Amino acid sequence: MVSHMKTTLNIDDSVMERLKKEAARRKTTMSKLVEAGLRRILDEAENDKPIRRRKLPSWDGGGAAVDISDRDALDDVMEGR
């Protein structure tokens, strides 16, 4: 059985405005967002370690095709020569 407790919190007006906008953007309730945020903080504190985030992708671009300070070489590449 799931139970919920109603409570009153004092939240800064600017934070509340951001919360309203984010809830609307996600098509969810402010209560669900606040609860999710609190769970995240409490879980992190309980585990005493930061939340794991996915690493950003990386790749080797292969280096520059031309030295952009060399105007003639840059013109050749731009003109397909």
Q: What pTM did the predictor assign?
A: 0.53
CA distance 78 to 72: 10
Domain ranges of the chain: 12-51
Please say whether the beta carbons of 18 and 30 come within 8 A. Answer: no
pLDDT in tens, 44-74: 777 776 667 788 888 887 777 788 888 898 8
pLDDT on residue 60: 80
